[in-house]
A and B are shown apart, each in its own frame.
Chain A
Amino acid sequence: MSAGSPTLGQVRWVGFKTILLREYGRIIRIWGQTIVPSAVTSTLYFVIFGALIGKRIGPMGGVDYMQFIAPGLIMMGVITNSYSNVVSSFFGAKFSKHVEEMLVAPLPAWVIVLGYVGGGVIRGLLVGGAVTIISLLFAEIVIHHALIIIAAVVLTAVVFSLGGFLNAMYAKNFEQVNWIPSFVLTPLTYFGGVFFSISLLPAWAQALSHANPVLYMVNAFRYGFLGTSDVDVVLAFALMIGFAAAMFVIAIVLMNRGTGMRE
């Protein structure tokens, strides 16, 4: 049964693929919890805010309201699902102690972080894809810059997956897992330009909105579809890359310290 010992590179690559496959398997195994709820919620948003109320609102940002909110609702699904996938999966691994399977193995911290982030990105994109398909029933989707759309959605999923990972590292119970999504993520998303252009807001609120990172992500994504944005798209990408890099480094440092996992 013996075979040559795997090289360092093999350990890292196969280890990364293993975490990714395990996360993908989990997403698919519990698809009723991971994919369906966001699809149902976004359908309700399209029906209520788009089809019913939206007709009375009229154009927003120079386009039909349904076209305006479609990118926002897709991005909202990506944000909440990439975050919640990693926070629930990694905290679950800590809670039931099967995180130790990875901690005792010769996997560097960055491989574990990348594996979980990859899982979060996969779920974010699956939900984003499902919401996009639903949006086609309600709005005419035009694509202005496909690459910008892809880059914005992937970077956003990476940032929020990392956020979920950091939340899971510090969380000591399930209440702390739900706290940030409920009291931080949801308000930031709702005020992040998903349903309205910040040009509708008073000057002070517009200034305040610029401190909201979700605003940049939603607008960069919307720019890919509509070619219009409330923020500088270059700045938006710089912020996303900066957030992703900073959070990745913090996650690795905390992993190496064993924060929340090692005694």
Chain B
Amino acid sequence: MYALSARGLVKTYDNGVQALKGVDLEVEQGDFFALLGPNGAGKTTLIGIATSLVNKTGGTLEVFGHDVDRELDAAKACIGVVPQEVNFNMWETPLEIVVNQAGFYGIDRKLARQRAEFYLGKLSLWDRRKTVSRALSGGMKRRLMIARALMHEPRLLILDEPTAGVDIEIRRSMWDFLREINAQGTTIILTTHYLEEAETLCRNIAIINGGQIVERDRMASLLRRLKSEVFVLSLRDPLAAVPRIDDYLVTRIDDNTIEVEVSDEQSLNEIFARLSGQGIVVQSMRSKVNRLEEIFMRLVDGRGAKR
């Protein structure tokens, strides 16, 4: 049984736009799954159908074996959703928001308050529990929506760009928290525009484009498909000319910086050895483009990932 299983999912909006064109997708239980795609690719529509905020035009969708057409309430009870846009009552406090949300899932107020303390505490919001939520910062609002989605302790947590506009420190603490709840057994589906985030957190990935799944693979397998990668090297001493390294494409960026393209048949050790041989000291190195970003761009540009 899959945490989420879509078969031939189709959605055509009233204005004629076909947002989903027969999507087949399975997400295994316990997975940390990335659903990526450019704006308008159909990610939010797919999530909307799973959470019953969008009526599908065709196909089937099951959540932990519960068909949304036949057992909608059972399917809903399994899902916690963190939407892309803030959608809580700005005049309520975080405590009211999460306790009420628990109530909508049949959790009595005593247990809801215990969970509120736990989840608001985990997401560093307990001190702000009585603040009117419109006064919270953007990052706090995002974390509040995560706490709210967890109040009924769902088996499947769907996060639609949860870290948009969140500073890097809070983003990383949110990653730690998401890893923790995933380790405890919660299946997580994540959409994000930060591809580093998907690469860091997710084990499996699907890329959707133009309403269709254009790639579905293990994250590691997908990343291995990249045939070459460009590294940016910062050098200790200024260079007079571009160093020559046979079989490697080297480009000078400025006096202290060069770029080197490395294929999957070549090695960084060889580059370092040859640079050392020329008396060049490399102080630091970074990948020019995020690997997942490179693959993603190739897929959504229609160039296809190299196999």
Chain A residues within CB distance 8 Å of chain B = 1-3, 5-8, 10-15, 17-18, 21-22, 25, 29, 93, 96-98, 100-108, 258, 262-263
Q: Does B171 contact A (CB under 8 A)?
A: no
Closest to A112 in B: B104
* Interface stretch of the complex, out of B85-93, B197-205, B259-267: B85-93
- CB <8 Å contact, B89 and A93: yes
* Interface stretch of the complex, out of B23-31, B75-83, B237-245: B75-83
- CB <8 Å contact, A100 and B106: no
Chain A residue numbers with a CB within 8 Å of B43 are none
- CB <8 Å contact, A105 and B76: yes
Most-contacted residue by chain A among B48, B52, B111 (CB, 10 A): B52
User: By the criterion of a CB under 8 Å from any partner CB, how many residues of chain B are at the interface?
Assistant: 38
- Shortest B150–chain A CB gap in Å is 9
- Shortest B177–chain A CB gap in Å is 14
A169 to B211, CA, bound (A): 30
Given known A14-B106, A15-B103, contact A96–B55 (CB-CB < 8 A) = no
Give 7 A-B contacts (CB < 8 Å), ordered by A residue: A11-B77, A11-B105, A14-B107, A14-B108, A93-B89, A100-B87, A101-B88
A21 to B92, CA, bound (A): 13
Closest to A7 in B: B106
- Shortest B102–chain A CB gap in Å is 8
Chain A residue numbers with a CB within 8 Å of B88 are 98, 101
A14 to B48, CA, bound (A): 25
Given known A97-B87, A98-B88, A101-B88, contact A18–B76 (CB-CB < 8 A) = no
A104 touches which of B79, B108, B115 (Cβ 8 Å) = B79
- CB <8 Å contact, A100 and B83: yes
A180 to B154, CA, bound (A): 41
- Shortest A252–chain B CB gap in Å is 15
Closest to B11 in A: A263
Chain B residue numbers with a CB within 8 Å of A5 are 77
A12 to B106, CA, bound (A): 7
- CB <8 Å contact, B105 and A106: yes
Chain A residue numbers with a CB within 8 Å of B111 are 3
- CB <8 Å contact, A262 and B107: no
A97 to B79, CA, bound (A): 18
Closest to A98 in B: B89
- CB <8 Å contact, B52 and A104: yes
- CB <8 Å contact, A101 and B53: no
Chain B residues within CB distance 8 Å of chain A = 13-14, 48, 51-55, 72-74, 76-77, 79, 81, 83, 85-91, 96, 100-101, 103-108, 111, 114-115, 118, 148, 153
- Shortest B140–chain A CB gap in Å is 17
Given known A18-B100, A263-B55, contact A105–B87 (CB-CB < 8 A) = no
A17 to B156, CA, bound (A): 26
B103 touches which of A18, A97, A258 (Cβ 8 Å) = A18
- Shortest B13–chain A CB gap in Å is 6
A107 to B115, CA, bound (A): 20
Closest to A101 in B: B101
- Shortest B101–chain A CB gap in Å is 6
A2 to B91, CA, bound (A): 30
- Shortest A246–chain B CB gap in Å is 25
Chain B residue numbers with a CB within 8 Å of A103 are 52-53
A14 to B91, CA, bound (A): 22
- CB <8 Å contact, A263 and B13: yes
- CB <8 Å contact, B103 and A14: yes
- CB <8 Å contact, B87 and A98: yes
Closest to B73 in A: A106
A106 to B87, CA, bound (A): 18
Closest to B13 in A: A263
Chain A residue numbers with a CB within 8 Å of B91 are 29
- CB <8 Å contact, B51 and A15: no
Given known A98-B88, A262-B53, contact A1–B104 (CB-CB < 8 A) = no
Given known A1-B118, A98-B87, A263-B13, contact A105–B104 (CB-CB < 8 A) = yes
Question: Top 5 A-B pairs ranked by shortest CB distance?
Answer: A18-B103, A6-B106, A11-B106, A105-B104, A106-B73
Chain B residue numbers with a CB within 8 Å of A6 are 105-107
Given known A3-B111, A8-B73, A263-B48, contact A17–B103 (CB-CB < 8 A) = yes
Given known A5-B77, A258-B55, A262-B55, contact A102–B104 (CB-CB < 8 A) = yes
- Shortest B54–chain A CB gap in Å is 5
- Shortest A8–chain B CB gap in Å is 7
Closest to B51 in A: A104
- CB <8 Å contact, B115 and A1: yes
- Shortest A261–chain B CB gap in Å is 8
- Shortest B229–chain A CB gap in Å is 41
- CB <8 Å contact, B87 and A101: yes
Chain A residue numbers with a CB within 8 Å of B148 are 101
Chain A residue numbers with a CB within 8 Å of B83 are 97, 100
